[in-house]
C-alpha cells in the first residue's frame, strides 16, 4: 500500500512529456516499484536523446550535402562565370550586399 502511494506520487510529479509512459505503467499488473519505473523512464530518456541526436545529425548532413552541391556542383552563373550560383542569384544582377566592397553606397 505504501509502495503504491509512492508510485502514484512519483507518477503525478512527472512532466507531461511522459504522459504515455505514465498511462502504460498504471495499466501494469502488478504495479512496478518506483525503482523499476525510474529505470524504465531513464531508458526512455536515453532513447529520446539518441533519436534527437540522430535527427540533428541528419539535418546537418542534409545541409552540408546541399551546400556542397551548390558550391562545387554543376551550377555556374552565365553572367559572371562563378560556380555556386545561377544568374537569378548573381550579385552583379541583383546587387551586392551592403558589406561587399562593390556595393553601391
Do 66 and 99 belong to one domain?
no
Reported pTM: 0.49
List pLDDT tens digits, range 26-80.
999 999 999 999 999 999 999 888 877 776 666 666 666 555 554 555 788 899 9
What's the total number of domains in the chain? 2
Contact in structure between 100 and 91 (CB atoms under 8 Å): yes
In the numeric block, the cell 526512455 is attached to: 44
- Mean pLDDT confidence for 78-105: 84
Same domain, 26 and 51: yes
What residues make up the domain containing 94? 76-105
Same domain, 14 and 58: yes
**Cα three-residue angle 38-28-10, rounded to 5 degrees:** 35
State how far the Cα of 75 lies from the Cα of 40, in Å rounded to an integer: 51
pLDDT of residue 60: 65
Q: Are residues 35 and 59 in the same domain?
A: yes
- Stretch 14-22: mean pLDDT: 93
Residues 69 and 80 in one domain: no
Same domain, 55 and 84: no
Residues 45 and 83 in one domain: no
Amino acid at each position: 500500500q505504501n509502495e503504491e502511494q509512492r508510485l502514484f506520487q512519483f507518477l503525478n510529479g512527472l512532466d507531461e512529456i511522459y504522459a504515455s509512459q505514465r498511462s502504460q505503467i498504471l495499466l501494469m499488473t502488478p504495479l512496478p516499484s518506483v525503482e523499476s519505473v525510474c529505470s524504465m523512464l531513464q531508458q526512455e530518456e536515453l532513447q529520446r536523446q539518441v533519436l534527437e541526436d540522430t535527427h540533428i545529425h541528419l539535418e546537418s548532413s542534409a545541409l552540408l550535402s546541399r551546400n556542397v552541391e551548390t558550391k562545387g556542383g554543376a551550377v555556374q552563373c552565365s553572367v559572371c562565370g562563378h560556380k555556386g550560383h545561377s544568374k537569378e542569384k548573381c550579385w552583379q544582377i541583383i546587387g551586392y550586399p551592403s558589406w561587399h566592397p562593390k556595393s553601391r553606397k
